[in-house]
Structure 1
């Protein structure tokens, strides 16, 4: 069984650890090792995570195995993204051994329920255009609404699909 709880500030190091364990297998065939390292530092340094939580209104949820309390993965989201009636899923990563076991779906379902209760009418997320997770998102009701290229500095681009899912 899985328990999903809001991450405390002390647990941001667990989120960082999950990202560092997940990114090489998730992006190793898509991005250069240099870009992976650059992005991990940019998005998952202790300072970056604190800024996301305290200044950018990102909420982090941790999925843990109920008995052992072993961390399995996390999601971060933001309600009322850019003043719209949308909840933005900024991050969703599961440890490799936790993938394909329904943990990601449970995290998305949890965010969906929180967004609905808040009054948002859709979920939105960005995903690399070559990421195998696209099929997962499509299976659970997301569809591609546009493409975007985001310059993240240092000569790197995030080449993403923007996907949305209505919350009806």
Structure 2
């Protein structure tokens, strides 16, 4: 069985560890090793994760295998993104061995339920244009609504699709 719990500041090293274990497999064929290292440091240092929770109103949920107590992945989200009736999924990563087992669906469904309770009308997320997860998001009811290129510094860009899923509010 899989349990989903809200992460606390004490759980941030777990989130960081999952990201560092997941990113090479997820982005190894898409981004250079230098960009992966840069982005991991930028987004997953303990200071950055703390700021995401305290200053940016991001909420992290952890998925954990109940029998083994092993953490399988995480999702982060923000209600009322840019003062709109939308919940933004900022991050969702699963350990490679956990992918394809329904964990991602459970995490997105949990955020969708919370967003509906908050009267948000849709979920939003950004995904790299070459990420294989696009097909997963489409199966979950997301559709590409736009694209953007974000300069993240050091000469690196994030080239993303913006995907949205309407909610039954």
Task: Tell me the alpha carbon deviations over residues 63-88 of structure 1, each in whole angstroms, 9 at most, x when there is no partner.
Answer: 00012211000000000000000000
Which sections of structure 2, spanning at least 5 residues, go unmatched? none
> Using the alignment, how far apart are the partners of 1:157 and 1:123 within structure 2?
24
> Using the alignment, how far apart are the partners of 1:66 and 1:86 within structure 2?
31
Are residue 52 (structure 1) and residue 52 (structure 2) matched?
Answer: yes
> Using the alignment, how far apart are the partners of 2:33 and 2:68 within structure 1?
33
TM value normalised by structure 1: 0.99
Aligned to 1:151: 151
Which sections of structure 1, spanning at least 5 residues, go unmatched? none
Aligned to 1:108: 108
Q: Which runs of 4+ in 1 moved over 4 A?
A: none
Give the total of aligned pairs: 168
Aligned to 1:81: 81
> Using the alignment, how far apart are the partners of 1:23 and 1:128 within structure 2?
12
TM value normalised by structure 2: 0.99
> Using the alignment, how far apart are the partners of 1:166 and 1:119 within structure 2?
12
Aligned to 2:132: 132
Provide the alpha-carbon RMSD of the alignment: 0.4
Deviation at 1:150, TM superposition (A): 0.3
